[in-house]
Amino acid sequence: EAQVTQNPRYLITVTGKKLTVTCSQNMNHEYMSWYRQDPGLGLRQIYYSMNVEVTDKGDVPEGYKVSRKEKRNFPLILESPSPNQTSLYFCASSFTRGLTDTQYFGPGTRLTVL
Amino acid sequence: DAKTTQPPSMDCAEGRAANLPCNHSTISGNEYVYWYRQIHSQGPQYIIHGLKNNETNEMASLIITEDRKSSTLILPHATLRDTAVYYCIVYGGATNKLIFGTGTLLAVQP
């Protein structure tokens, strides 16, 4: 089944404790991205990757890192999480970032930073 | 900022057609209209997209006005499982990323 998976689905952590949220897709997509969703602010893009070893900042990259060493994986790293990073996170992928590319979203990761 | 305007909420009776409007008066010639939906904190789900012709797939129909300044998503026979937030997004050309606005919360009533 074609899908985007994220792990963990739920995470409660404390300020400053490094964490990684994994994202994997099995559709051989080149383009992957991370979004966060907060009440009243909608979905905002954090980082995106056009292909292996190519990443770039989205609208809200502060406090996050990403890497794209393999085509299928695009982990989101929070080196020193803070409470304002408490949010619902979504990973998405598409074949390319072309005019008509449909993005497929993962199920989401709900992160709470205490 | 989102380039679309949608009503914040709508109701629809189960089994009836749900017609969700969207205004995108500043759309440019090479930008597409996309519709996604999000069911209660799940990942957004692609529904349909179009450029200027009406489109239909197994989920919905998309009607785009001739001047392309507005569109309507039609769910022909709404079910309770169609209760979700529906996002109308203009994408492509100079707008090279999905910008989700606040969407329309569609509540399908039994």
When mean pLDDT is compared across A12-16, B21-25, B41-45, B97-101, the lowest value belongs to B97-101
In 3-state terms, what secondary structure has residue B81?
helix
DSSP one-letter code for A40: T
Question: CB-based burial of residue B11 (10 Å sphere; 0-12 exposed, 13-18 middle, 19+ buried)?
Answer: exposed
A61–B contact, CB cutoff 8 A: no
In DSSP terms, which residues pair with A54 in a beta bridge?
A51
What mean pLDDT, rounded, does chain B reach?
91
Predicted local distance difference test score (pLDDT) of residue B95: 46
Question: CB-based burial of residue B63 (10 Å sphere; 0-12 exposed, 13-18 middle, 19+ buried)?
Answer: middle
Two structure tokens written together for B21: 């409007």
Residue B92 has pLDDT above 60, yes or no: yes
Question: CB-based burial of residue A16 (10 Å sphere; 0-12 exposed, 13-18 middle, 19+ buried)?
Answer: exposed
pLDDT of B56-81, one tens digit each? 999 999 999 999 999 999 999 999 99
Distance CA A16, CA A82 (A): 7
Predicted local distance difference test score (pLDDT) of residue A96: 73
B101–A contact, CB cutoff 8 A: yes
Q: Which residues of chain B neighbour A100 with C-beta distances below 8 Å?
A: 32, 49, 92
Q: Give the residue ranges of chain A where pLDDT is below 70.
A: 97-100
Count of beta carbons in the 10 Å neighbourhood of residue A52 = 14
Distance CA B9, CA B101 (A): 13
Distance CA A86, CA A59 (A): 17
Side by side, the strands of the sheet bearing B9-13 are B9-13, B104-109, B84-91, B32-38, B45-50
A105–B contact, CB cutoff 8 A: yes
